């Protein structure tokens, strides 16, 4: 939904991009928007009837079942802490497990740059963790949202902005914000890893990013601490939402690749080496697009590894 005049050209661009890609989208005037989302307020909006929602945990469980049935071994709780090159490949070692491999595909998310370095690569980006916190709409206020209500994304910032999402279980999530996490797996405000935080603070790109985005970053911190500020952001989409309607939900941590010049990498970043492929930035919609990304990486692996 476009809630200001300034957002209208970007909304139209998104609409045109949808049409160009064969997505069945409809441009809505306020009266028509009320047919779909009676409580949303906008100057204009895009309706995307083919948008879907899933319980992603169930998707991953289904993928794991199919992979195991096809003979793939999946190990969890198996952090790789060292990678050495042997005569004919790589040896990945951790506390619990050692694996020999001829080739490596590294998709370690928040630690993808770290694993790339363990494998001898020199990634030109560093992962900076940003926590995304959610609230839930109180059950008696869920009727304010029928589907998914998104703001027009700010092109200056790769994060989407807080939105309202009805889940497959019928509840309504509000969020996520984007606050710097003090540990790569800093799912809670109080989780601090001095070593990882020092690594972030020692990175030149972090300070350049901080200089560029300090205003947005400060506001995000404030909104993380203030439920009223969070509610105000949601009121731009649905004016009737109040802070009393919100209860604390969960949080995720984005693995955001940051370049040495401080820019936030907003596209997928996959680098290849003779015996390894490193997925160094896989932002949203990385989950939705995971099968397509998997196919892309498989093709890349076939092409890259065959050369050696």
Question: Which residues form the interface with ligand FAD (CB under 6 A)?
Answer: 79-80, 107-111, 115, 132, 176, 252-255, 279, 282-288
In the complex, the smallest distance separating the C-beta of residue 73 from ligand FAD, rounded to whole angstroms, is 14
Cβ–Cβ < 8 Å for 217, 210:
yes
278/267 Cα distance (integer angstroms): 14
Question: Which residues, including other chains, have CB under 8 Å from residue 127's CB and lie 6 or more apart?
Answer: 110, 111, 112, 113, 114, 184, 255, 256, 257, 258, 280
* CB of 44 or CB of 275, closer to ligand FAD: 275
Query: Which residue, 44 or 269, has its beta carbon nearer to ligand FAD?
Result: 269
CB of 143 to ligand FAD, least distance (A): 22
Residue at shortest CB range from ligand FAD: 286
Phi, psi of 149 (to 5 degrees): -120, 115
Give the count of beta carbons closer than 10 Å to the beta carbon of residue 33: 20
User: Which element (helix H / strand E) includes 254?
Assistant: strand 246-258
Report the residue number, 162 or 238, with the smaller CB distance to ligand FAD: 162
Asked if residues 257 and 111 have their Cβ atoms less than 8 Å apart, the reply is no
Query: Cβ 254 to ligand FAD, closest distance in Å?
Result: 4
Which C-beta is closer to ligand FAD: that of 30 or that of 285?
A: 285
Report, in Å, the least distance between residue 31 CB and ligand FAD.
Answer: 29
157 Cβ neighbours under 8 A, 6+ residues apart? 213, 216, 264
Q: At its nearest, how many Å lie between ligand FAD and the CB of residue 77?
A: 9
C-beta closer to ligand FAD: residue 44 or 254? 254
For residues 209 and 225, give the distance between their C-alpha atoms in angstroms, rounded to a whole number. 22
């Amino acid at each position: 939904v476009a809630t200001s005049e300034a957002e209208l050209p970007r909304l139209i661009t998104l609409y045109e991009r949808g049409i160009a890609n064969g997505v069945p989208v409809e441009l809505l005037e306020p009266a028509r928007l009320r047919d779909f989302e009676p409580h949303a307020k906008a100057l204009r909006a895009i309706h995307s009837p083919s948008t879907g929602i899933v319980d992603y945990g169930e998707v991953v469980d289904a993928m794991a079942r199919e992979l195991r049935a096809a003979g793939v071994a999946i190990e969890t709780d198996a952090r790789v802490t060292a990678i050495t090159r042997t005569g004919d490949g790589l040896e990945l070692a951790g506390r619990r497990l050692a694996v020999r491999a001829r080739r490596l595909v590294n998709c370690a998310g928040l630690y993808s740059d770290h694993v790339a370095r363990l494998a001898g690569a020199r990634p030109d980006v560093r992962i900076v963790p940003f926590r995304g916190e959610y609230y839930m709409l109180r059950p008696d206020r869920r009727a304010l949202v029928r589907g998914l209500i998104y703001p027009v994304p700010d092109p200056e910032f790769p994060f989407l902005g807080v939105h309202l999402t009805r889940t497959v279980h019928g509840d309504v999530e509000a969020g996520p914000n984007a606050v710097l996490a003090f540990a790569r797996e800093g799912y809670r405000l109080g989780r601090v890893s001095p070593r990882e935080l020092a690594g972030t603070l020692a990175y030149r790109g972090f300070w350049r990013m901080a200089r560029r985005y300090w205003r947005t970053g400060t506001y995000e911190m404030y909104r993380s601490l203030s439920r009223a500020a969070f509610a105000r952001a949601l009121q731009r989409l649905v004016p009737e939402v109040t802070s009393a309607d919100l209860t604390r939900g969960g949080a995720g941590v984005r693995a955001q690749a940051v370049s040495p010049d401080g820019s936030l990498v907003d596209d997928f970043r996959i680098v290849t080496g003779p015996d390894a492929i490193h997925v160094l930035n896989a932002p949203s919609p990385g989950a939705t697009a995971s099968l397509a990304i998997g196919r892309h990486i498989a093709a890349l692996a076939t092409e890259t590894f065959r050369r050696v």
